[in-house]
Amino acid sequence: MGLSRRTFTREFKLSAIRRLEMGVPIAELARAIEVNPNTLHRWQREQLEGPGNVFPGKGKARWPEGRIAELERKVGRQTLEIDFLKGCLQRIEEQRRLQALSGKPLSTKKSRDNAKKPN
């Protein structure tokens, strides 16, 4: 039978971080509150990285702000690529319409080569 994970409230985590900031050694605090010292290190690091929105909800992972910025940049690049490709497609469509109106077929290397070959 598997062990269930413990969840800690935001207040509990902030209280532990405050005690660390007051100078309580990590090992001593970890024993006192029965938490792995690595967990305390992680909570402390998360507090330093994003003090405003630290520990949202009950153990639900949040998107790090760096990841959000990275994804926004990616969306921006893809939007530019899509706009560029739409412009290219419009120019191709216009060329085809003009050629259809003028009655001149689109000449390609393959069609020129086939025209030169005797049947």
Given a contact cutoff of 8 angstroms between Cβ atoms, the answer to whether 26 and 20 are in contact is yes
Among residues of the chain, what percentage have pLDDT more than 90? 45
What is the end-to-end Cα distance of the chain in Å, rounded? 80
Q: Look at the chain and count its residues.
A: 119
**pLDDT per residue over 47-95, tens digit each?**
888 766 677 665 555 566 677 888 899 999 999 999 999 999 999 999 9
